[in-house]
């Protein structure tokens, strides 16, 4: 399946005047789009749930229709809208509805008669989950703080899974002088408490949306 770091499965798509990274995901039935893309569109109540790889439910704002260009082809994308994904994801239903023919050997798809080259986006497949800061915060000099973070998922699903996997932050420096400690996290996607330490003599600023830590199985 796409997302294992070895196959071409990405393509930038154009929505309006902007380009957005997009993942073609045969491991997911339905498509998912970013909340920032859908903020001016009509968002309808969702008819199904969205799950992380281990079965944790991901909050969604609803579902919507988006018109986008894949290469020179104008297509319609029906998908769920979430603040907890990093890329637009085109699922198996979208591929089927558009009669896409995917040649895995060449890394190309044929879409309505147009051949589109897919890209290998290695930097986006080195992690499965990461925590981002939920709000602007200043950490006092030589002090510790519990940050409130939200989960961002690289892969999603729509089918329930039974998993008791526990996740924890990887300890590292994420901003100059600010360190994140190893923290076991609860099984949810919002308001995740993460311990951070400022080892400098100056206050440290962490902006909303800053990546605090990548997660690993505990």
Contact residues for 159 (Cβ-Cβ < 8 A; gap 6+):
29, 51
Q: How far, in Å, CA of 199 to CA of 206, rounded?
A: 14
Residue 95's SS3 state is helix
CA–chain centroid gap for 211, Å, is: 12
Domain boundaries, the chain: 10-124, 129-217
Q: What is the pLDDT of residue 192?
A: 94
φ/ψ of residue 64, rounded to 5: -150, 175
For residue 85, which of 175, 158, 166 has the smallest C-alpha distance? 158
Using CA atoms, how far residue 135 sits from 16, 138, 153, 191, 206, in Å, is: 29, 10, 19, 11, 8
In sign, the C-alpha dihedral spanning 201, 183, 4, 98 is negative
* Class for the domain spanning 10-124: mainly beta
Q: What is the pLDDT of residue 53?
A: 66
Contact 181, 122 (CB under 8 A): no
Contact 158, 49 (CB under 8 A): yes
**Cross-strand pairs, 157:** 51
Strands 18-24 and 88-90 turn out to be parallel
pLDDT in tens, 172-214: 999 999 999 999 998 888 999 999 999 999 999 999 999 999 9
The CATH superfamily holding the domain 129-217 is Deoxyuridine triphosphatase (dUTPase) (2.70.40.10)
CB burial readout 58-85, b (16+ within 10 A) else e: bebbbbbebebebbeeebebebbbbbbb
Q: What is the pLDDT of residue 6?
A: 41
Give every residue of the chain whose pLDDT is below 70, as ranges: 1-7, 53-54, 121-127, 155, 157-165
């Amino acid at each position: 399946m796409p997302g294992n770091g070895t196959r071409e499965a990405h393509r930038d798509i154009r929505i309006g005047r902007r380009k957005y990274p997009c993942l073609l995901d045969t491991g997911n039935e339905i498509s998912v789009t970013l909340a920032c893309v859908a903020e001016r569109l009509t968002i309808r109540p969702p008819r199904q749930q969205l799950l992380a790889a281990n079965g944790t439910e991901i909050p969604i704002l609803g579902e919507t229709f988006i018109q986008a260009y894949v290469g020179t082809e104008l297509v319609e994308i029906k998908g769920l809208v979430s603040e907890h994904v990093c890329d637009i994801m085109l699922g198996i239903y979208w591929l089927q509805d558009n009669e896409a023919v995917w040649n895995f050997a060449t890394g190309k798809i044929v879409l309505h008669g147009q051949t589109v080259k897919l890209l290998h986006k290695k930097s986006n497949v080195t992690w499965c989950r990461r925590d981002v800061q939920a709000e602007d915060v200043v950490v006092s000099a030589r002090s510790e703080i519990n940050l409130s973070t939200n989960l961002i998922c690289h892969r999603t699903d729509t089918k329930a899974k039974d998993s008791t996997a526990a996740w924890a932050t990887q300890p590292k420096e994420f901003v100059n002088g600010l360190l994140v400690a190893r923290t076991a996290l609860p099984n949810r996607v919002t308001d995740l408490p993460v311990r951070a330490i400022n080892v400098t003599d100056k206050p440290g600023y962490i902006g909303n949306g800053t990546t605090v830590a990548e997660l690993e199985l505990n």
